[in-house]
Chain A
Amino acid sequence: MSQATVAPAPSHWGTGRSGLVLAGLILAFAIYLTVGIITMTVPDGAEPPGPKFFPIILAVACYALAVMLTVHYVRRPEAPADTDGVETIEEPEGVRHKSFTDWRTLGLTMAGFLAFALLLDPIGWILAAALMFWVIAWAMGSGSPLKDVAVALVLSCAVQVAFSAGLGLHLPAGILDGVL
C-alpha cells in the first residue's frame, strides 16, 4: 500500500503503485472469462455469432486493459487522489500512517456487513441489522457504544415495521419469531 500523504514519506518501489491491484483484478476477470468461454456448452442450432462472440471481445479487452493499467502505474506512480468532494481536512501534521487506507476500520465495516449477511436468516432482521449498525458505528469511531445500541435497535425495528407492515416486504423474524 502507498504511503500517507504526510511528507517526507520514505518511498520505495511500491509507493504510488498499489493501483496495480486493479490491473490484477481485471486480469482475474480476463481469466474468468477465458475459462468460461472454453468450458461453455453452446446449444445446437445456435447461429453465429453465438453466445461466445461478445465475451471473446470482452476477454480480449480485459487482457489489453490489464497491460494498459500495469504500464500506467509502472510508468507514473500516483498519490492517492481525494478529489471526490468528500471532506478532505486531514489530521494534524506529524501524524503518519502506514497506509492511506485505514484498513482496520474498513475491515471491521466489511466484517459487520458479512456478519449481517450470515446471521440474517438465523437471528432475524431486527437483531442482525442492529448488530451491523452497531459494529459499523463503533468501527467508525462512535464514542458512546451504549447509546449506539439503542439507536441501532430503534432503526432496525422502524425498518421492520415500515417495510413489513407498510410495503409488505418479507423480512426474516429469526429467533424473535412469535414475539413479533
Chain B
Amino acid sequence: MESLNLLAGGLADALTPMNLLWVFIGAFLGTAVGVLPGLGSSMAVALLLPVTFTLDPTAAFIMFAGVYFGGLFGDSTMAILVNTPGGSTAIASTFEGHRMTLTGRGPQALATAAIGAFVGGLLASVIVVLFAPKLADLAVNFGPPEYLALSVLAFVATATVVSTSLAKGLASLVFGLTFAVIGIDGISGAQRFTFGAPQLFDGISIIVITVGVLALGEVFHVASRVRRTRPGRLHKITGRPYLSRAEVREAAPAWGRGALIGAPFGVIPVGGAEIPTFLAYGGERALDRRRKHPQFGKGAIRGLAAPEAAGNATAGTAIGALLAMGLPTSATAAIMLAAFRQYGLQPGPLLFTRSADLVWTLIASLFIGLVVLLVLNLPFAPLWAKLTKIPRHYLYAGIAVFCGLGVYATSAAVTDLILVLGIGFLGFLLRRYDFPLAPIMIGVVLGPLAETSLRNALLSSGGDYGVLVDSGISVTIYAALVLVLVFVAYRGLRARAARDV
C-alpha cells in the first residue's frame, strides 16, 4: 500500500505540463526510430544523451522511458506492413503479422500489436510498482562480492545467449571492458593506457562509445550496403486499425501469456527483448497446434499478440531492475545507467531512499507514457509507416550530423570526434561480421563496477578469494550463471546435432 501512495505522489509530479511534454516527445521519437528499420531505441537514447544534460534528470529519464517503450511499439509496424522488422525485437512479430496483412487484415494486425505492446508494458509497470521497492530492500544487503557476481552474470549472459558464437559474444564484451579501463584508475590514481595523452586521462567518454557503436556504426553499416539494396515495398492498407469483439477475445489470452513470459526477462541479463519475443511466439505456436483449427501460417492473431506483449513487458521490468539494483539488462538500459551516473545518481537500492521523488515520478511516467503511446500508435500506425518514405541518404546523413553534434556538444573536443569515427568503424566491423552489440555496451557500463567491486572485495579480505562466494546471495547469482551456461551449451549441442543430420 505504501507503494501505491508513493505512486500517487509520483503521478502528481509527472502530470505537470512540462513533464507531459517530455513524455510525449520521448514517445514520439521512440515510435519514429522504432518504425524505421535499422534504428532502435538504443540508438535514439545514445543520440539524446548528450543533449539532455541541460535538462533536469527527471525530464531526461521520463523522456528516455518513452523512447524505450516507443521503440518497441513502433518496430512492429514495418514488420507487419513490409515484412522487414523495425528491430530485432520485432522479428518474431513478422511471421504472423505480415501474413495478416497479406490476407487483408493489416489494420487488425496493427491494432493487435499496439494493444499487445500496451498490455505488456502495463503489466510490467504494475510489477515494477509492487516489486521494485522489495528488490531494492534486498539489494541493500549487496556488498562488493554481490555486485561483482551480478556484473559477471550480466557479462556472461549477454555475451553468450544472444550471440551466434561464443567467441564473437565474448570478443564484443572484451572490447567494451577494454574501453572502460582506459584513463586514471579511481582507486590508486595510476594512469592506465593513456600513454601520456591528456585527452585520455578521464577515459573515453561513454557518449563517444555509445554514439560510435550504436549510431555512427549503423550509418557506416548502411553506407556499406545502401547502393546494393533496395527498401522493401510498403503494403497499402485501407481502413482504420480496430479489433472486433471476437478478435479481442481471440487475442486476449495471448497478450496475457506474452506479457507473463516477457516480464521475468527484464531482470535476466540476456541483452534485451529478443529472446522473450521468440519464446512467446514459440509458445503460442505450440498451443495452436493442439487446437481444432490451427491458425498459424494463415495469419494467426495470437502469433502476433504474444511477442508484442512480451517485448514491452521485458522493457518495463528492465527499467525496474535498473532502478532497484542498478543492473542493466539491455543496451538501452545500459545507456540509461550511464545517464544516471552523468547526473551523479547511482541506480540501486539507495536511489529509492535518496531520490524517491525522481524514482516514483519516473515509474508514474511509465504509465502515462504507455497511454500516450497507445494513442499515438493505435489510430496512426499507417501514418507512421510513411516515415519510411524519407530517402535513406537523407536519413543517414542526418543521423551522422546528430552524431557529430552529440559528441561535440558534450566535450567540445575535436579529438573526441576522431575517436568516435574510429569507434564507429569498429561498430561497422562488428555489424558486418555479425557480432552482437549489447555486450560491448554492458561491458563499458558495468566494467568499472566489476573492477572496483573485485578489488574492494579482495582488499577487505586481505587477498582471500573465498570472500567472493561467501554470501548466499552471491552463491545464488553464480548458480544462475551456471544455469545460463548449461542452457547455452545444451542449445549449442542441439544445433550441432541438427547440423550433422
Contacts and interface: CB of A to CB of B under 8 A. Distances in A.
Nearest to A36: B193
User: What class of interface size applies to chain B in its complex with A?
Assistant: 35 or more
Nearest to B419: A117
A161 interface: no
Interface in A77-127: 78, 80-91, 97, 100-103, 105-106, 108-110, 112-114, 116-118, 120-121
A62 B174 contact: yes
B491 interface: no
A12 B458 CA distance: 52
A69 B171 contact: yes
Nearest to A1: B432
User: What class of interface size applies to chain A in its complex with B?
Assistant: 35 or more
B460 to A, nearest CB: 11
Contacts of A170: 409, 412
Given A43-B188, A132-B400, A113 B216 contact: yes
Contacts of A19: 433
Interface of A: 19, 21-22, 25-26, 29, 32-33, 36, 39-43, 46-51, 53-55, 58, 61-62, 65, 68-69, 72, 78, 80-91, 97, 100-103, 105-106, 108-110, 112-114, 116-118, 120-121, 129, 132-134, 136-142, 151-152, 155-156, 159, 163, 167-171
Chain A at the B interface: SS class: helix
Contact of B408 (A49, A80, A120): A120
Interface of B: 37-38, 51, 54, 84-88, 90-91, 164-168, 170-171, 174-175, 177-178, 181, 185, 187-193, 195, 216, 219-232, 391-394, 396-398, 400-405, 408-409, 412, 414, 417-418, 421, 424-426, 428-435, 451, 454-455, 458-459, 463
A29 B174 contact: yes
Contacts of A69: 167-168, 171
B220 A36 contact: no
A32 B219 contact: no
Contacts of B187: 46, 51
B454 A136 contact: no
Nearest to B231: A87
Given A55-B181, A72-B165, A86 B225 contact: yes
A19 B458 CA distance: 38
A103 B211 CA distance: 22
Given A54-B181, A85-B91, A133 B167 contact: no
A44 B190 CA distance: 10
Given A89-B232, A120-B417, A136 B393 contact: yes
B19 to A, nearest CB: 17
Contact of A117 (B170, B191, B421): B421
Contacts of B192: 36, 40, 51, 55
Nearest to A50: B188
B174 A58 contact: yes
Contacts of B398: 133, 155
Contact of B223 (A53, A85, A109, A120): A109
A162 B373 CA distance: 25
A83 B456 CA distance: 42
B171 A89 contact: no
Nearest to A99: B224
B174 A65 contact: yes
Nearest to B82: A87
Contacts of A140: 222-223, 226-227, 392-393, 396-397
Contact of A105 (B38, B164, B224, B421): B224
Nearest to A111: B421
Contacts of B223: 102, 105-106, 108-110, 136, 139-140
Given A82-B225, A85-B88, A89-B229, 7 more contacts: A21-B429, A84-B38, A85-B85, A85-B86, A88-B84, A110-B425, A142-B394
